[in-house]
Chain A
Amino acid sequence: MDKVTRALILTVVAFFLFAGVAFGIETISLNQLIETAKVMDGKTVVVQGEAISEALERGNNAWVNINDGTNAIGIWLNREDANKIKVFGDYLNIGDKVKVTGVFNRACVEHGGDMDIHATSIEVVENGYPVKEKVPSQKIAIGIIFVVVTLMVTGFYFKIMKKPTS
């Protein structure tokens, strides 16, 4: 291949690389995606959110619901991808933050009209972790004090109620 052709090829490749980055798909917030569902229907999107509760396994696939703080949606992915998610969010845990690339469906025919994303790839961008629960000392103090007061009132109650009122 002569120099000119090589240069041309390199230029074209470079152009596409930059174009890919410039016109790259940006992460969209779930709420915005849902609000613009009509326009986004069928498009490939990138979303990022915390995996919630657990993976609902269905044969070779699974549902993973993700919540990005603006809203929550179901991601349909294959078992392999689902297994990449180790920590799910609930009261005692913050779940893995996953970045999902996939096709958005406004009314998925495969899933009875569900608004969902069929993932083509997922990536765990932040690992989840257990939340250290801390009860504020005031709460404990108030709790104990109130219980003591209640016990006193209860004692008083039984004492008074034993006597007839007339």
Chain B
Amino acid sequence: MNTFKSKFYSIVIISYYTGFVVLGIAFLTLIPLATSLLLREWNPFFDFLITLAISTTLGLSLILIGRETRENKSFVQWKHGFVVASLSWVILMVLCAIPYALSGHVYSFLDACFDVMSGFTTTGLVLTQDLDHLSLGLNMWRHMLTFIGGQGMIVLALTFLLKETGGAYIFYVGEGKDINLVPNVKGTARIIWKISLIYLLIGTIALWINGILIGLNPLSAFFSGLFIFESAWSTGGFAPYTQNMMFYHSFSYEIITIVFFILGSLNFGLHYAAWSGNKKEIVKNIETQSFFITTFITSALAVIALSKSGVYADAVSMFRRVVYNVLSAHTTTGFNNVYASQFAKEWGDFGILIMVVAMLIGGSACSTAGGFKGLRVAVVFKGVIADIKKLLSSERNVKLFRFHHIKEQILTDGLVKVSALIIICYMVTFTIGMALGAYYGYPLSNAAFEMASVTGNVGLSIGVTTPFMPVGLKVYYIIAMYLGRLEFISVFALIGFIIGGVKKLWIK
């Protein structure tokens, strides 16, 4: 029975669950807080203390406002899930920007929000200044946010804070992770975390050891290892230094990052399958096949393009400076080991175009990666082939087309349509952003590169992203990163909900 005291019970439900997500972030601030405390970084300590206080107060208040939900869990619907997912992200963006803003390393609160959104969406574009003098507490925060963002904040809240699973699936799908690994959502979230944490352990240790071997002292090797792993696995692309991957001057370090950023860009369902005994899935899966084909083509074309310009004389250089960056782009990671101006000046229009395509195609569905997603690209591609075959074959044959994704699946018209529609949404977002960049005077190739980086949540920059870029472009980038990461649907739900709510109020 509906015991909600108010007709606006949707707001009550949304408030309740959003409160838990906010509380989750509040707990997370304890990590950088402890880091700064241990390292005696007093300014960041207070910055995080203030953030902890504000988040806790807000979270508890939201839960209190929504407390009637406790007795009415069955009234939670899909629309609530989507709204909680998309609304939380906006609230969290503001809360998590507080430590950045208080640090003095950003020119404005908008820039702080930009970096937070860049972290959550695992994009990796940076407006924070003077990374080389950043506190370890704040660096811990930045890299942790991208790691959490990759996992999904809703997944985080589900795993630790909600005592029951009823309706939980709804929030989970709202964040774009619609793969059902086990019958219950909490179980699925737990598995995603287990896989990620085991890789976190292995990856941090591997990078730690390699860090020491390349000349870092044990403490910075550890932090670099942790941060770079978090950034690689989440396909984020943040690094603790101004020069990003160039700081390390190390081929071995780069290779280890490739291992983890590719693994991070793979579908969690694939990891689960491989870890449950179904190792063949790694090669049978349509997404890994698609990824192999598209990365192969883009890498080959990029190498050819850069051979023509003659910048790199040998295979090692070509692999490190071209293939690495193409893979970084395609998995939507965003680690770079060349300067932004090198993309602008050495890659040429053709090279830039290849990167744009790689960045837009992106990684696998249900992973930390961005872009259209390999699954959609493969489905649409196969859909086109299927349509051609249908046209050419006899009308009496009813052909069924299949593909393999975890299990054998049928290529239905509905699936092709949905995939194509989302790709169109990405393309529209991209095109508007590219046009906006051109409007502000950036060369078209630069506007395209940067917008592809934003849309695909990549993080490579050709030089457009600076604190001095036009505010309109900065705001559009924030919105586009957010839309791209949440794959549009939840955000549309949020907008629809707000419009619906406003209409109801108006009629009253």
Q: CB distance A65 to B247 under 8 Å?
A: yes
12 of the cross-chain contacts (CB-CB < 8 Å) are A52-B132, A52-B242, A53-B220, A56-B216, A58-B215, A74-B249, A90-B133, A91-B136, A112-B316, A150-B53, A161-B67, A166-B3
The residues in B between 234 and 255 inclusive whose CB is less than 8 angstroms from any CB of A are: 241-243, 246-249, 251
- Which residues of chain B are within 8 angstroms of A35 by Cβ–Cβ distance? 341, 345
A residues less than 8 Å from B132 (CB atoms): 50, 52-53, 67, 72, 89-90
Q: Which 8 A-B pairs have the closest CB atoms?
A: A113-B317, A56-B215, A146-B53, A113-B321, A150-B53, A72-B242, A157-B60, A57-B215
CA distance A51 to B204 in the complex (A): 26
Question: Could you list which residues of chain B lie within 8 angstroms of chain A, going by C-beta atoms?
Answer: 3, 5, 41-43, 46-47, 49-50, 52-54, 56-57, 60-61, 63-64, 67-68, 70-71, 102, 132-136, 214-217, 220, 241-243, 246-249, 251, 311-314, 316-318, 320-321, 337-339, 341-342, 345-346
Q: Which residues from chain A sit less than 8 Å from chain B, CB to CB?
A: 34-35, 37-38, 50, 52-58, 62-63, 65, 67, 71-74, 89-92, 106-107, 109, 111-116, 133, 135, 139-140, 142-143, 146-147, 149-150, 153-154, 156-157, 160-161, 164-166
Option from A54, A114, A149 in Cβ contact (under 8 Å) with B57: A149
Q: Could you tell me the distance between the alpha carbons of A111 and B47 in the complex, rounded to whole angstroms?
A: 40
Q: Are A153 and B46 in contact (CB under 8 A)?
A: no
Q: How far is the CA of A165 from the CA of B60 in the complex (A)?
A: 16
Kindly state the separation between the CA atoms of A114 and B336 in the bound complex, as whole angstroms. Answer: 12
Known: A71-B339, A74-B247, A112-B251. 7 other contacts (CB 8 A): A52-B241, A65-B247, A107-B313, A116-B249, A139-B47, A142-B50, A157-B60
Contact: A72 with B3, CB < 8 Å? Answer: no
The distance in angstroms between the C-alpha atoms of A165 and B215, with both chains bound, is 61
Say whether B71 contacts A112, CB under 8 Å: no
Q: Are B43 and A56 in contact (CB under 8 A)?
A: no
Known: A65-B247, A165-B3. A115 touches B242 (CB 8 A): no
Q: Find out whether the CB atom of B50 lies under 8 angstroms from the CB atom of A146.
A: yes
Contact B41 A91, beta carbon cutoff 8 Å: yes
Whose C-beta in chain A lies nearest to the C-beta of B211?
A56
CA distance A62 to B38 in the complex (A): 30
Is the Cβ of B57 less than 8 Å from the Cβ of A166? no
Report the minimal beta-carbon distance from A159 to chain B, rounded to whole angstroms.
10
Most buried by B among A143, A149, A154: A143
Judge whether B321 and A37 touch: CB under 8 Å: no
Say what secondary structure dominates the interface of chain A. mixed
Complex Cα gap A135–B44 (Å): 9
**Beyond A58-B215, A112-B317, is A139–B68 a contact (Cβ under 8 Å)?**
no
Q: With A90-B132, A165-B70, A165-B71 as given contacts, are A107 and B60 in contact (CB-CB < 8 Å)?
A: no
Q: Please determine whether B56 and A143 come into contact, CB atoms closer than 8 angstroms.
A: no
- Verify B53–A107 contact, CB threshold 8 A: no
- Residues of A contacting B242 in the complex (Cβ-Cβ under 8 angstroms): 52, 67, 71-72
**Which one of B46, B64, B68, B249 lies within 8 Å of A114 (CB-CB)?**
B249
Measured between beta carbons, the chain A residues less than 8 angstroms from B133 are 89-91
Q: Which of B41, B42, B220, B312 makes the CB contact (< 8 A) with A113?
A: B312
Q: Of all chain B residues, which has the CB nearest A50? A: B132
Q: CA–CA, A113 to B250, complex, Å?
A: 11
B81 to chain A, nearest CB (A): 22
* Complex contacts, A38 vs chain B, CB 8 Å: 345-346
Alpha-carbon distance A103/B247, docked complex (angstroms): 19
Instruction: Give the distance in Å from the alpha carbon of A147 to the alpha carbon of B45 in the complex.
Output: 13
Distance of A75 Cα from B249 Cα, bound (Å):
10
Contact of A153 among B52, B56, B320 (CB under 8 A): B56
Answer whether A73 and B243 are a contact pair too, CB < 8 Å, given A89-B133, A106-B311, A112-B320: yes
| Distance to closest chain A CB from B253 (angstroms) | 10
B321 in complex: contacting residue of A57, A112, A139, A154, CB < 8 Å:
A112
Residues of B within 8 A of A90 (CB): 132-133
* Cβ-defined contact, B67 with A165, below 8 A: yes
Cβ contacts under 8 Å, B249 to chain A: 56, 63, 74, 111, 114, 116
